Amino acid sequence: MQIRTAAIILGACLGLVLPRLADASPVTHSWQALPATPALPVPVRSGLAVVRDVSLYYAQFGAGRPVVLLHGGLGNSEYWGHLVPALVAAHFSVTVIDSRGHGRSSRSVEPFGYGGMADDVLAVLDQLGLQQVDLVGWSDGGIIGLDISMRHPERLRRMVLYGANSDPGGVYPNVEKKPVFAAYIERAARDYERLSPTPREFDSFVAQIQVMWAAEPRYTRAQLAQISTPTLVCDGLHEEAIRGSHTRYLARTIPGAKLLLLPGASHFGMLQTPAAFNRAVLGFLDVP
């Protein structure tokens, strides 16, 4: 997937011809930009967990009640670089996992599926001796959280979903053409080359995962209504990928779910408004 951006460069001499040009420039709001991906702190433990046909990267930070963070599609665990220190400071033990094919994890010819990716997460948690965790999932990571909460509710204490959907109809069409999302795809390609054990295969990776996105998830209203995990459904007020009506549908349908829309944020709230994002997560996870 190739995204091209265009830039118009104005010569300094235009300042003499149009002295008020700067005043007419549009204001860039926080949700209209993709801030730099923060670095993760040094983990207390990291490695590769062999799960079926792949090796999945994980890293752990801090000590306390366990929470697992699951990133979005095409992303990697570094997107949690603002949240991890906040959780560690609040006495959580944090585990991040790169999904199959993402970040430092390997990929196989097996088709992508949210059920299989949820099984991947549970297998890593088993290997790490984590029987019950809080879960924070962004986008695809949130969908994986939904799958775990429906099939293995005993593994989750609380769940935060950000920018997740329960069926393909919840996604706006042509989202990859929107400027911030296009910038994200470009960054994902660079990250893939930097981190992946197969750095030259980004295009084939994207083609493989797009098959899943076209068909999944397909969770019914009845399935969502059976979720018993206390859930916060969260998203940016300026979300460009997931329909706002769909986010509200999830909050209405999951029993007892709370709804929170972050001002100043789009699909990338953990980068655009990190302080507010962290407060939302900590506020929900800290509820007795």
pLDDT in tens, 230-257: 999 999 999 999 999 999 999 999 999 9
Which domains does the chain carry?
Answer: 38-285 (3.40.50.1820)
Which residues lie below 8 Å from residue 222, measured CB to CB, with a gap of 6+?
none
Judge contact between 134 and 157, C-beta under 8 A. yes
pLDDT in tens, 123-149: 999 999 999 999 999 999 999 999 999
pTM of the model: 0.91
| pLDDT for position 204 | 97
Q: Quick one: DSSP state of residue 47?
A: E
Output the 3-class SS for 153-191: HHHEEEEEEECCCCCHHHECCCHHHCHHHHHHHHHHHHH
Q: Which of 178, 145, 183 is nearest to 161 (CA)?
A: 145
